[in-house]
């Protein structure tokens, strides 16, 4: 199958423009051997490359190219399948955008196009190419430092585990993981997630329940979350608890129960963020909306969890106007290398900013993911880069610390 792959990257400081001719001659020779054709654009700072050829060969070459130290911040913009080649005549050709006016370069590039793709502007790959030549979208080229520029230092003293509280609640426990603002070194909230009794998945517990009792169990479990949070000393922090959206519909008096348990444990409703998962199917919309009103009127705040993973996301957002959304980990994973994910995250940031909804990135595991999201404008994060969840205890936070030049030098040896 013929794969078309388009990426952009940032040239490394040590690379001389004069050396690019040699790179392209070699690349062209090698590409022809493996049936790859394409085009390379350079504007003095960024590369833009279109590669087309057999899927396995393009994937293998892209992997090699993305590891090449002559450039960094490599972002895949497009991966698509085609039935014919756009630039089928040559293994690789270089166009330096600094040498000529953009229209001249664009025409020269398009003249190299093969068959019917010549001058076809509605082709996505060619649209990307035009955008690059015309230097549009440059504000979205977020540059990040190498991963090793930061170290992540845990706080010194772990908090002790708290005592188990309710004998009737031995089937499950709660893991706590903070949501943090890493650069302000501030814990925004602690999220309590239901786990099995030994800290594993709670599926064993839930699989024993019928459809109806799942909602009741979901609600009742929050009693333990509030009690544990109280024992741990939540102080003025907020506590985020996940709730299936249908729990609010199916269990009569669900909001009253939450309020009663919050106050019984010395907390106040304003301290509680109820995070509903967007992929929980919502039926009985009228009842759901009534429960939402009641929840908000009580002072509790609302978040949409796993945002972007389900099907109801945007509609649910317009319906219940949450205080915050938690972007799903699958969108966050490798966001620094994926153009489509970057476009989605930037759109989420934009509409949340218009609606004054705060955005939390969850499942952050790599320094580069955090750096890119921070550069895009997100301040609140959750993930194993900073903390590992702890059962019945508050975990330590590994705050980012920028390394000094001498520390960076030591790291390279
Ligand atoms: C911007 C850029 C584009 C590149 N394009 C190609 C290419 O199209 N084909 C290729 O074989 N190598 C290309 N390279 C070089 C590869 O990263 C790598 O150095 C080369 O394939 C290694 O060849 P070798 O394994 O024979 O040493 C490119 C490098 C850069 C920085």
| Pocket flag, ligand 1, residue 74 (CB < 6 Å) | no
- Token pair 């969850």 in the structure block, residue: 362
Average pLDDT, the chain: 89
Check if the beta carbon of residue 188 is closer than 8 Å to that of residue 387: no
Read off the pLDDT of each residue in 378-392 and give the average, rounded to a whole number: 94
Ligand 1 centroid to Cα of residue 132, in Å, is 21
| Pocket flag, ligand 1, residue 7 (CB < 6 Å) | no
| Pocket flag, ligand 1, residue 61 (CB < 6 Å) | yes
How far, in Å, CA of 290 to CA of 95, rounded?
60
pLDDT in tens, 293-306: 999 999 999 999 99
Of all residues in the chain, the percent with pLDDT exceeding 90 is: 59
| Pocket flag, ligand 1, residue 20 (CB < 6 Å) | no
- 223-232, 241-250, 379-388 — most confident range: 379-388
What confidence tier does 273 reach under pLDDT thresholds 50, 70, 90? very high
| Pocket flag, ligand 1, residue 58 (CB < 6 Å) | no
Ligand 1 centroid to Cα of residue 190, in Å, is 46
What confidence tier does 314 reach under pLDDT thresholds 50, 70, 90? confident
Check if the beta carbon of residue 360 is closer than 8 Å to that of residue 179: yes
Read off the pLDDT of each residue in 235-250 and give the average, rounded to a whole number: 90
pLDDT of residue 167: 66
Name which residue sits closest to atom 25 of ligand 1, judged by CA. 64
| Pocket flag, ligand 1, residue 92 (CB < 6 Å) | yes
Q: Does an H or E element contain 153, and which?
A: strand 150-154
| Pocket flag, ligand 1, residue 30 (CB < 6 Å) | yes
What confidence tier does 84 reach under pLDDT thresholds 50, 70, 90? confident
| Closest by Cα among 362, 387, 388 to 373 | 362
| Pocket flag, ligand 1, residue 31 (CB < 6 Å) | yes
3-state secondary structure of 158: coil
| Residue 397 in tokens | 């936070």
| Residue 85 in tokens | 């080649």
Pocket test for ligand 1, best of 12, 17, 27 (most atoms within 8 A of CB): 27
Is 117's pLDDT higher than 60? no
| Pocket flag, ligand 1, residue 47 (CB < 6 Å) | yes
* Beta-carbon count within 10 A of 112 CB: 16
What confidence tier does 154 reach under pLDDT thresholds 50, 70, 90? confident
Name which residue sits closest to atom 16 of ligand 1, judged by CA. 65
Ligand 1 centroid to Cα of residue 413, in Å, is 26
How far, in Å, CA of 241 to CA of 243, rounded?
7
Q: Which domains does the chain have, with CATH numbers?
A: 2-140 (3.30.70.100), 147-412 (3.20.20.450)
- Token pair 């590669």 in the structure block, residue: 51
Phi/psi-derived region of residue 185, left when phi > 0, alpha when psi is between -120 and 50, beta in every other case: left
Name which residue sits closest to atom 11 of ligand 1, judged by CA. 27
What confidence tier does 158 reach under pLDDT thresholds 50, 70, 90? low
| Residue 5 in tokens | 């792959």
């Amino acid at each position: 199958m013929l794969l078309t792959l388009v990426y952009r990257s940032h040239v490394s400081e040590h690379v001389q423009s004069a050396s690019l001719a040699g790179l392209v001659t070699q690349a062209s020779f090698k590409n022809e051997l493996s049936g790859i054709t394409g085009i390379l654009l350079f504007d003095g700072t960024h590369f833009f490359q279109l590669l087309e050829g057999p899927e396995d060969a393009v994937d293998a070459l892209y992997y090699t190219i993305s590891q090449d130290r002559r450039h960094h911040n490599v972002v895949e913009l497009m991966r698509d399948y085609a039935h014919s080649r756009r630039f089928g005549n040559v293994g690789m050709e270089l166009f330096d955008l600094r040498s000529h006016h953009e229209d001249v370069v664009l025409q020269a590039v398009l003249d190299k196009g093969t068959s019917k793709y010549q001058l076809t502007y509605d082709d996505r790959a060619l649209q990307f190419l035009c955008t690059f030549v015309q230097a549009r979208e440059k504000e979205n080229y977020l540059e990040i430092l190498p991963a090793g520029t930061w170290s992540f230092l845990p706080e010194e003293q772990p908090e002790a585990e708290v005592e188990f509280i309710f004998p009737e609640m031995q089937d499950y426990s709660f893991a706590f993981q903070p949501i943090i603002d890493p650069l302000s070194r501030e814990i925004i909230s602690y999220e309590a997630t239901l786990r099995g009794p030994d800290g594993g998945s709670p599926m064993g517990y839930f699989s024993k329940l019928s459809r109806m009792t799942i909602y009741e169990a979901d609600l009742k479990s929050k009693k333990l979350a509030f009690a544990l949070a109280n024992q741990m000393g939540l102080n003025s922090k907020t506590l985020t608890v996940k709730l299936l959206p249908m729990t609010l519909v199916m269990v009569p008096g669900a909001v009253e129960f939450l309020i009663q348990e919050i106050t019984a444990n010395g907390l106040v409703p304003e301290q509680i963020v109820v995070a509903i998962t967007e992929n929980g199917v919502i039926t009985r919309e009228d009842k759901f909306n009534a429960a939402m009103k009641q929840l908000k009127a009580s002072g509790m705040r609302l978040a949409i969890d796993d945002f972007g993973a389900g099907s109801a996301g945007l509609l649910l957002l317009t319906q219940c106007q949450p205080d915050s959304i938690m972007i799903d980990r699958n969108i966050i994973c490798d966001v620094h290398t994926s153009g489509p994910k970057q476009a989605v995250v930037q759109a989420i940031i934009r509409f949340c900013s218009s609606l004054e909804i705060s955005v939390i990135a969850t499942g952050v595991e790599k320094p580069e993911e955090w750096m890119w999201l921070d550069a895009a404008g997100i301040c609140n994060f959750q993930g194993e880069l900073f903390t590992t969840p702890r059962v019945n205890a508050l975990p330590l936070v590994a705050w980012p610390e920028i390394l000094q030049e001498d520390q960076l030098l030591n790291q390279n040896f």
